[in-house]
């Protein structure tokens, strides 16, 4: 992901990041519904711990490769728009 997005990626200390994030969002909504003035940042600062030893940094060569592939994908997508429109009209 670091190479694809050309950004540093840090994992969480919990293994189920998506489920943990959903639980934090549910807690945030519940606390708001209870009338508390709490921000999602307040909750993440309290409950989220980063796993810095597993930080991934982008590799320049891989970033350049992904950038070129994205350019090809974008060009291909644009060139097929007319074909997709014709296909949709046939239904």
What digits encode the pLDDT tens for the residues 16-48?
Answer: 889 999 999 999 999 999 999 999 999 999 999
pLDDT of residue 17: 87
Q: CA-CA-CA-CA torsion for 7, 11, 17, 18, nearest 10 degrees?
A: 10
Query: Mean of the per-residue pLDDT values for the chain?
Result: 95
The Cα 45–Cα 17 span in angstroms is: 15
pLDDT of 1 > 90? The answer is yes
- Other CB atoms within 10 Å distance of the CB of residue 3: 19
pLDDT of residue 28: 97
pLDDT in tens, 81-91: 999 999 999 88
Say whether pTM exceeds 0.75: no
């Amino acid at each position: 992901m670091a190479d694809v997005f050309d950004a540093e990626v840090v994992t969480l200390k919990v293994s189920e990041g998506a489920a943990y994030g959903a639980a934090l969002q549910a807690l945030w909504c519940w606390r708001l519904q209870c009338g508390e003035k709490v921000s999602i940042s307040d909750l993440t600062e309290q409950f989220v711990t980063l796993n810095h030893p597993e930080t991934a940094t982008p590799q320049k060569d891989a970033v350049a490769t992904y950038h070129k592939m994205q350019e090809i994908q974008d060009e291909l997508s644009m060139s097929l728009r007319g074909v997709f429109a014709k296909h949709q009209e046939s239904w």
